[in-house]
Structure 1
Amino acid sequence: MNAVTPILRLHEHRIWATHHLLEACRPLSDEQLHQPHEIGQGTLWRTLCHLYAAEYVWLAALQGTDDAVAPGDVAGKLPGNQEGEGAATSLTTLIERWQQLDQRWSDYLDALTPEDLEKTIYRISSSSYQGQRIGSQAMDVLLHVATHAHYTTAQAINMLRHCGLSDLPPSMLITLARSQAVA
């Protein structure tokens, strides 16, 4: 097994967990999506938009664009908060955009080689490094995207619990593995 194999598995899990998370959000009202929570980005909607934006900008960085912003993300504002042109204003729109982004991720990951993992990927930081152009190994970026998604998904599931959902979406890698073993 080469180093690409576990990276691919983590991203397969990321996409699977996100799909289940978004499906669990479909029946929620706008009020529930925008209900304040003291975790994540403050609301389920902003947390979902944050997760989408992270996946969007990191894929762009992996593909050579170091200063990408997600549609609607202007002046440091989260996409989807109706602040910028192009922001998703509904869960349906966000899900449609995410499906397109997942396809772009799949295309990127399908072509990934062990040599690609060693490339330096640049991103202009919007937070920690105050606009500096920072380089990281592609392996670290790919691991970051997956672990960030797992962490943020856990926050979103906690918000779903606080919204009263009892049938919470699956999110554990072992659940994915077991469902594949049964199929």
Structure 2
Amino acid sequence: MNAVAPILRLHEHRFWVTQNLRDACCQLSPEQLNQPHEIGQGTLWKTLCHLYAAEYVWLAALQGTDDAVAPGDVAGKLPGNQEGEGASTSLAALVERWQILDGLWRAYLDAIAPEDLDKTVFRKSTSSYQGQRIGSTAMDVLLHVATHAHYTTAQAVNMLRHSGLSDMPQSMLITLARSQSAT
């Protein structure tokens, strides 16, 4: 097995978990999506926007754009908020945009070769390095995107539980594996 195989498996899991999370969130009202929580981004809506934005900017970095910003800078925008051109103003709009992004990610991952994992990917830091252009290997970026999604999804599942949802979205890799072996 080459190093690409486990990366692809992690991202297959990320796609599955994210879809499950989006489906669960579609059962909630705007009030539940915006209910404050003392975890993660503070609300489910902000957490979903954060997940989308992270996937968007890191794919752009992998494709050579080091300073991408998610369309409309969706992080923190609430449903119904018209600020920011291109901002998602509803969960349905965000999900639609995210499904397109998933397709772009799949195309990128389908084309990746083992030698691509060692390439340096640049991103202008928005946090601790205050705008510096920082390089990381594509492998580290790909691992980061998957682990960030898993960590943030765990926070979102906790928020869902506190929002009153009784049927939690499936998120364990072994659950995905078992469901695939059953078919």
| TM-score normalized by the length of structure 1 | 0.96
In structure 2, the CA distance between the partners of 1:99 and 1:92, relative to structure 1 (3 Å rule), is same
Corresponding residue of 2:114: 114
Corresponding residue of 1:143: 143
Q: Is contact 1:72-1:79 (8 Å) kept?
A: no
Letter in 1 for 2:11: H
Corresponding residue of 1:28: 28
Give the deviation of 1:80 after TM superposition. 3.3
Letter in 2 for 1:127: S
Where in structure 2 are there 5+ consecutive unaligned residues? none
Corresponding residue of 1:131: 131
Q: Is contact 1:79-1:87 (8 Å) kept?
A: no
Distance, in Å, in 2 between the alignment partners of 1:102 and 1:173 is 18
Q: CA RMSD in A?
A: 1.0
Distance, in Å, in 2 between the alignment partners of 1:56 and 1:31 is 26
User: Deviation digits for residues 91-118 of structure 1, max 9, x if unmatched?
Assistant: 0000000100000000000000000000
- Does structure 1 residue 78 correspond to structure 2 residue 75? yes
User: Deviation digits for residues 34-92 of structure 1, max 9, x if unmatched?
Assistant: 0000001000000000000000000000000000000111xxx7253444211101000
SS in structure 2 opposite 1:168? Answer: coil
Alignment identity in percent? 77
| TM-score normalized by the length of structure 2 | 0.96
The runs of at least 4 aligned residues of structure 1 exceeding 2 Å deviation read 79-83
- Does structure 1 residue 16 correspond to structure 2 residue 16? yes
Q: Is contact 2:40-2:155 (8 Å) kept?
A: yes
Q: Is contact 1:71-1:79 (8 Å) kept?
A: no
Give the deviation of 1:153 after TM superposition. 0.3
Q: Is contact 2:45-2:76 (8 Å) kept?
A: no
Corresponding residue of 2:4: 4
Of residues 84-93 and 141-150 in structure 1, the stretch that sits farther from structure 2 once superposed is 84-93
Corresponding residue of 2:172: 172
Q: Is contact 1:41-1:47 (8 Å) kept?
A: yes
SS in structure 2 opposite 1:122? Answer: strand
How many residue pairs end up in the alignment?
A: 180
Letter in 2 for 1:5: A
Where in structure 1 are there 5+ consecutive unaligned residues? none
Letter in 1 for 2:75: L
Distance, in Å, in 1 between the alignment partners of 2:144 and 2:32 is 29
Aligned 1:46-85 pairs, distance under 5 A: 46-73=46-73, 78=75, 80-81=77-78, 82=81, 83-85=83-85
